[in-house]
Amino acid sequence: MPSQTSPSPVCPGCGGPARSVADTVADPAPPHADVADLTDRLAKAPAVASRGTTALHAGEGLIMAGVGLALAHGGLTGHATVPLVGGLLLALIALAGTALVVRNETRGRAAVTAGEARAEALWQPAYHCPGCASVFCPGGEPWQGRLTPEQFRKLVWTEAGYGGELEEGARAALVPPGTLPRPRGAQDHV
């Protein structure tokens, strides 16, 4: 759904019409063949597991641990060593794995929540030009220049504090120095 609040700005690179990044991500309209992954390339934040998904993973892990304990209990009452040891091992691995998954998912969610406002401030005003595949902010506010979608995503994610979540390939993108103006306070004392 196109936004009706502002007129479409013209791309400073090729002079073509640009769409806001928010609209582009919400509806990566054809005519370009490579739009399929635009939503990912311009994403404001990494996809994180919802609370419900984490609860589901925890539930699955606990069921596995329960199966292991039942097996171990059967081994104990039947004086069989293999199911006893195997069951205990299964329970331990299930619990450790579940703890790790739950911790990682919770951390990822917390990082995205913590950086949300900062990411939003850099991401929301940005426009994407489908003609030359560049991202820019009309008027150079709050950041200036033209970036590739990869550079743009790195800028947003890094500033939001979850740059570490970028895939290895995406980390290689270099954001040109001066894209983000220095905070005013830093220049006042010169």
- Quote the least distance from Cβ 138 to Zn ion, whole Å: 13
Q: How far apart are CA 66 and CA 31, in angstroms?
A: 53
Q: Which of 114, 99, 95 is nearest to 165 (CA)?
A: 114
Per CB under 5 A, residues contacting Zn ion are: 11, 13-14, 16, 129, 131-132
Question: Residue 51: which H helix or E strand, with range?
Answer: helix 51-77
- Quote the least distance from Cβ 128 to Zn ion, whole Å: 9
- Quote the least distance from Cβ 10 to Zn ion, whole Å: 9
Angle, helices 81-123 vs 51-77, to 10°: value is 170
CB nearer Zn ion, residue 72 or residue 147: 147
CB nearer Zn ion, residue 87 or residue 130: 130
Under 8 Å CB-to-CB from 25, ≥6 apart: which residues? 38, 39, 42, 43, 44
CB nearer Zn ion, residue 10 or residue 58: 10
Q: How far apart are CA 38 and CA 27, in angstroms?
A: 10
Q: How far apart are CA 178 and CA 109, in angstroms?
A: 30
- Quote the least distance from Cβ 133 to Zn ion, whole Å: 8
CB nearer Zn ion, residue 74 or residue 176: 176
CB nearer Zn ion, residue 13 or residue 163: 13
- Quote the least distance from Cβ 6 to Zn ion, whole Å: 17
